[in-house]
Structure 1
Amino acid sequence: MAAARTLVLASHNAHKLEELRRILGPLIPGIELIGYDGPEPIEDGLSFADNALLKARAAAAHTGLPAIADDSGVSVDVLGGMPGIFSARWGGPARSDRANVDLLLWQLTDVHDDHRAAGFVCAAALVIPDADDSEVCRVAVWPGNIAREPRGEYGFGYDPVFIPEGETRSAAELSSEEKDRLSHRTRAFSALAPEIRDRLT
């Protein structure tokens, strides 16, 4: 029964592991979330959900444990939803946060403030090996808009240029506690939590 209450997070990112422990701990008491050091699949899906499921399947197959994974990025309305699933490599092969943000801001240079709507999107997936109805995915959006210049010292990625709906601060100006409460990742995993509870506890 102990193994059934253990989840592996399909990510090598220690910061994400700690973030999801904070998010899921109150939602699913008794679940142990552990890290993953196995191979990561090529993320060649055509949606956030596709890529989240690819990662969760790989971790579940490698460890034999139930696995969760997420895929996320920023979607800008006036760009037809891009960068979307290409968010992490939008600025080119360097794959740096600064290059990604600089290119996005350049692309939106002439776009009026009223038309800079965007959303942080997160798909959260659960895969249970060797089980019927073994896969589930939930997608959530944190709405907001894109600022004209980066602000804030916290967060990463597009956080410095994302202004959440109802806020004047960027996501990079929010404390970790505020971001944990509001973010797209919290929204997606909060929606996934009942599925994890039903299947594993």
Structure 2
Amino acid sequence: MSGFPVVLATHNAHKVTEFQEMLAREVPGLTVLPYDGPEPVEDGTSFEENALLKARAAAIHTGRIALADDSGIAVDLLGGSPGIFSARWAGSRKSDEANRHLLLEQLSDIADEHRAAHFVCTIAVVVPDGHGGVASERIAVGRWDGRVARAESGDNGFGYDSVFLPDGVEGSAAELTPDRKAALSHRARALGALVPILAELRGA
């Protein structure tokens, strides 16, 4: 394949499209390919470890440069939790609604000034060595600061968006237009940090 193809370690077609649209504008010739290989167990203890686990597996399986992201919400008062457990905060079955309700319940008697939180997105880049191993690994991180609301608001977004009040923005992340959120979010910031890494790899 000509150009600069990279594999995104996800089976989520929407995420592949999102990465393609945001990165291709900045990295000439870049094509983000979907991944259809095995997914590793995400048993890391940080966003970075889990992103690297997924990117390594995809790079070794495909022999191509691979990207993988891991993200979640971290609440200061909860010591950074839910963190890597964001998707299953309310139990083993993924439920955005249950996760949000549990978080609001846990903070129900906490004053606004102590409800600080931030979204984190960590993107790993793994370059295979051509012999079934890894040549190099890089990390790009994006952070979106704000606080946890007292109640849900907004119909856009997903996950914890409706209970997250970003700094400098009126209302919740779920009240932002998709374009506005795409420009401000933790993923947008991580992708921005990823661009120079990919540009360097393309040049090499």
Fold conserved (TM > 0.5)? yes
Segments of 5+ residues of structure 1 without an aligned counterpart are none
* Preserved contact between residue 27 and residue 190 of structure 1 (Cα < 8 Å): no
Tell me by how many angstroms 1:168 deviates.
1.8
Q: Is residue 52 from structure 1 mapped to residue 54 from structure 2 by the alignment?
A: no
Tell me by how many angstroms 1:133 deviates.
5.3
Partner of 1:143: 145
How many aligned positions are there? 200
Identity of aligned residues (%): 56
CA distance in 2, matches of 1:105, 1:199: 43
CA distance in 1, matches of 2:123, 2:113: 30
Q: What TM-score, normalized to structure 1?
A: 0.95
Partner of 2:33: 34
* Preserved contact between residue 153 and residue 175 of structure 2 (Cα < 8 Å): yes
* Preserved contact between residue 48 and residue 123 of structure 1 (Cα < 8 Å): yes
The one-letter amino acid paired with 1:169 is: G
Partner of 1:196: 198
SS in 1 for 2:35: coil
The one-letter amino acid paired with 1:140 is: G
Partner of 1:175: 177
SS in 1 for 2:25: helix
CA distance in 1, matches of 2:19, 2:153: 25
CA deviation vs aligned residue, 1:7-59 (integer Å, no higher than 9, x gap): 11101112211221222122212100111121111111111111111110111
Query: What are the residue-to-residue correspondences of 1:78-89 with 2, within 5 Å?
Result: 78-89=77-88
CA distance in 2, matches of 1:135, 1:148: 40
Partner of 2:158: 156
Q: Is residue 126 from structure 1 mapped to residue 128 from structure 2 by the alignment?
A: no
